[in-house]
């Protein structure tokens, strides 16, 4: 059963990330509908402040993601070994899952905030951030090769994923 657990983790992670991306897309669609139909909720009040907060959150999410990802990867690296049959052990699978979920969380937060800023102010930058977040969430959806590359980088061995 080499690779059965890996396939299960990939399937679960695909479901989680797809749900997050669809949630961002649905919220954006509802927001666009509401703003085009009724106008923004604050219409000029505090627009600059909200856009500044959005930019600050986006710029702080990038280093937070990088720092957290590197920290978790460095914590996993010392015990990273494949099973004798070439399958990926549970700690590596959990590490991969955790890294992807953390990256998705650091992506989803600014994306949703961007859509809220658009909903409140009608400023186009909010939708751009939401669209970029949606795209990044789609790019985070893993393939078997993504997991294989992750494990190979940590162990120096090619895992058996079927």
Q: What integer pLDDT is reported at residue 158 of this predicted model?
A: 80
DSSP symbol at 81 = -
Q: In whole angstroms, give the CA distance from residue 100 to residue 106.
A: 10
- Across 75-112, b (16+ Cβ under 10 Å) vs e yields ebeeebebeeeebbbeebbebbbebbebbbebbbebbb
Mean pLDDT rounded to a whole number for the chain: 86
Report, as an integer, the average pLDDT of 79-103: 85
Q: What is the pLDDT of residue 47?
A: 78
* Residue 86 confidence class, pLDDT cut points 50, 70, 90: confident
pLDDT band at 19 (very low <50, low <70, confident <90, very high): very high
Residue 2 scores a pLDDT above 60: no
pLDDT of residue 30: 95
Dump pLDDT digits (tens) for 97-113: 988 999 999 999 999 99
Q: How confident is the model at residue 77 (pLDDT cuts 50, 70, 90)?
A: confident
pLDDT score of 43: 62
Provide the percentage of residues in the chain whose pLDDT is more than 70.
96
Cα 128 to Cα 8, 28, 110, 118, 133: the distances in Å are: 34, 10, 11, 9, 9
In sequence order, the 6+-apart residues with CB closer than 8 A to the CB of 154 are 73, 76, 77, 80, 92
Helices (H) and strands (E) in the chain, counts: 5, 0
Banded pLDDT at 1 (limits 50, 70, 90):
very low
Q: Where are the domains of the chain?
A: 4-155
pTM score, whole prediction: 0.85
């Amino acid at each position: 059963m080499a690779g059965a657990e890996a396939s299960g983790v990939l399937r679960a992670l695909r479901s989680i990330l797809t749900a997050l991306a669809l949630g961002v897309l649905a919220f954006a669609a509802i927001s666009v509908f509401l703003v085009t139909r009724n106008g923004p909720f604050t219409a000029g009040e505090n627009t600059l402040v909200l856009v500044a907060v959005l930019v600050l959150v986006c710029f702080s999410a990038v280093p937070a993601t990088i720092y957290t990802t590197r920290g978790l990867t460095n914590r996993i690296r010392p015990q990273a070994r494949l099973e004798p049959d070439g399958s990926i052990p549970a700690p590596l699978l959990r590490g991969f899952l955790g890294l992807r979920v953390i990256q998705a969380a650091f992506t989803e937060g600014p994306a949703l905030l961007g859509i809220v800023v658009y909903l409140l102010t009608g400023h186009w930058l909010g939708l751009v951030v939401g669209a970029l977040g949606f795209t990044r969430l789609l790019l985070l959806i893993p393939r078997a090769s993504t997991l294989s590359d992750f494990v190979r980088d940590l162990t120096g061995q090619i895992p058996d994923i079927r």
